[in-house]
Amino acid sequence: MSRYNRVNLDGKSITETRIAAAALLSGTFAVINSADKFAQAIELSGRMYVINPANHQGLSITEASPINDSAVGEYVEQGRELAILCPAGEYKKDTPIKLGAAGKGAIGVEGTDVIIGFSQDEVTLAEDDFIRVRIRAGIAVSA
């Protein structure tokens, strides 16, 4: 069971809807590719999104938006608070979060990694799960 039921934790709904170029897990980072589809982010470039649960398809936050079906992405913008899927680890308040493997968040190191945001939770995850992340200033890059 997930710690959160939705990605949009700040009460804002600032989204884009596109076809998924691959199965995309909720809470992972995505970009819009050259085919105008959501693709898993593998680097920080262009406009970034966080994939919402596919509730419109009857799926929960732990289920991926299916390939070649519609997916909804929340804009990654300064001050937004979003639930990001992160690997097992110890997360303290203000732990820096970077783009990790498979579009997930990961613990970053300031001065070494590009930091997307900061954990708002104090939790030790035993497996992949969601943490609240406040997006830092200047992270949204327009294509």
- Per-residue pLDDT reduced to its tens digit, 5-30: 999 999 898 999 999 999 999 999 99
Each residue's pLDDT tens digit, 47-67: 999 999 999 889 999 999 999
Domain span at residue 45 reads: 15-75
Q: What is the pTM of this model?
A: 0.94
Whether 50 and 22 share a structural domain: yes
Give 36-42 contacts, CB < 8 A, sequence gap 24+: 38/65, 38/71, 38/73, 40/102, 40/103, 41/99, 41/103, 42/103
Is residue 8, in this structure, part of any structural domain at all? no
- Which amino acid would we find at residue 8? N
Domain presence at residue 67 = yes
Largest CA distance in the chain: 41
Distance CA 27, CA 131 (A): 9
